């Protein structure tokens, strides 16, 4: 379901006047007209149905009214569905437009936080465009992606950070989460004598343990992470995994990894594992 993502609530009369990108999205993209209805997600995560009262093309403004059907003006929905894991993507910076496409698609998939990392082999260090400009554009891309995909996940994105800062962020996020409810991975380019994704996750369903609610994934740039960067992550409890696929570009590997983790976690109670020595 497409949705309009709002940054403000309607006034006490249920009226909301929108312009700018909101006007463009409703009038130009969705081609809404006066009297049309639109589903909008409010800042508190709830969904409300609005009716378009009028469209003023001269000033490029749209006036909405909270529609009341059967005595109800909307339905409260949680920001994140209870069954959906919180996925945090630590993405080593790659060059635009690949980074922008990655931000868009990760948002559509329901990634909770995207944390760009300026690693040793990151191309971003040589670009002249300032961080604030990129941050503003990324946030606009996220908003558009949520509207297109109907994602209920309020995806957030950080300004690019160093590896040490990325590790601190993960430790802060995961610090209060029990060990059996969180897990972190780092993708490697070469096969290793390590456990597979399902083998690592298998320990969480042994003896009826709870399914992880928070998972992190670290993905390097083109050319991969340096040995020191990988070592830093493993020292901070990131598990090395390698997917037996073709050689993937950084942005493809990130989305493949997110999809694999997301699917494995959401269906963890369904698939069966052998008894592994974990």
Strand 156-157 and strand 113-117: the pairing is parallel
Q: How confident is the model at residue 206 (pLDDT cuts 50, 70, 90)?
A: low
Enumerate residues 6+ apart whose C-beta is below 8 A from 3.
39, 40, 41, 47, 146, 147, 150
Stretch among 31-40, 67-76, 100-109, 148-157 having the lowest mean pLDDT = 67-76
pLDDT of the residue at 157: 95
pLDDT of the residue at 141: 94
Angle between helices 131-149 and 98-109 (to 10 degrees): 40
In sequence order, the β-bridge partners of residue 41 are: 5, 47
Average pLDDT over residues 229-257: 91
Mean pLDDT of the chain: 83
For the ranges 8-22, 75-89, 215-229, the maximum mean pLDDT occurs at: 215-229
pLDDT of the residue at 165: 96
Max intra-chain CA distance, the chain = 69
Predicted TM-score (pTM) of this structure:
0.80
Enumerate residues 6+ apart whose C-beta is below 8 A from 178.
none
Strands (E) across 3-125 are located at: 4-5, 15-18, 37-41, 47-56, 61-66, 74-75, 86-92, 113-117
Q: What percentage of the chain reaches a pLDDT higher than 70?
A: 81
Task: Give the helix, strand, coil percentages of the chain, each rounded to 5.
Answer: 35, 20, 45
For the ranges 19-23, 44-48, 109-113, the maximum mean pLDDT occurs at: 109-113
pLDDT of the residue at 12: 86
Q: How confident is the model at residue 257 (pLDDT cuts 50, 70, 90)?
A: very high
pLDDT of the residue at 78: 45
Q: How confident is the model at residue 164 (pLDDT cuts 50, 70, 90)?
A: very high
pLDDT of the residue at 29: 85
Q: How confident is the model at residue 67 (pLDDT cuts 50, 70, 90)?
A: low
Q: How confident is the model at residue 207 (pLDDT cuts 50, 70, 90)?
A: very low
Q: Please name each of the domains of the chain with its CATH number.
A: 4-75 (2.40.240.20), 86-266 (3.40.1280.10)
Give yes or no for a contact between 117 and 232, defined as CB atoms under 8 angstroms apart: no
Q: What percentage of the chain reaches a pLDDT higher than 90?
A: 38
């Amino acid at each position: 379901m497409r949705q309009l993502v709002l940054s403000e609530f309607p006034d006490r009369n249920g009226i909301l006047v929108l312009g700018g990108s909101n006007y463009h999205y409703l009038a130009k993209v969705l081609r809404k007209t006066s009297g049309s209805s639109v589903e909008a997600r409010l800042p508190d995560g709830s969904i409300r149905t609005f009716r378009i009262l009028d469209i003023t093309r001269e000033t490029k403004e749209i006036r909405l009214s909270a529609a009341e059907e059967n005595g109800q003006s909307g339905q409260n929905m949680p920001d994140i569905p209870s069954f959906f894991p919180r996925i945090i993507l630590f993405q080593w910076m790659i060059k635009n437009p690949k980074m922008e496409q990655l931000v868009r698609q990760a948002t559509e998939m329901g990634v909770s936080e995207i944390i760009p990392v300026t690693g040793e082999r990151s191309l971003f260090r040589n670009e002249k465009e300032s961080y604030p400009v990129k941050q503003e554009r990324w946030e606009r891309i996220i908003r558009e992606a949520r509207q297109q995909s109907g994602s209920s996940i309020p995806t957030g994105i950080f300004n690019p950070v160093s590896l040490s800062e990325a590790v601190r962020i993960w430790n802060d996020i995961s610090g209060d989460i029990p060990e059996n409810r969180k897990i972190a991975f780092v993708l490697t380019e070469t096969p290793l004598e390590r456990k597979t994704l399902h083998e690592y996750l298998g320990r969480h369903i042994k003896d009826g343990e709870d399914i992880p609610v928070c998972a992190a994934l670290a993905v390097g740039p083109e050319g991969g992470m340096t040995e020191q960067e990988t070592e830093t992550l493993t020292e901070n409890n990131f598990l090395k995994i390698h997917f037996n696929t073709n050689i993937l570009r950084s942005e493809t590997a990130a989305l493949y990894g997110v999809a694999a983790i997301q699917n494995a976690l959401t269906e963890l109670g369904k698939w069966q594992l052998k008894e592994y020595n974990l």
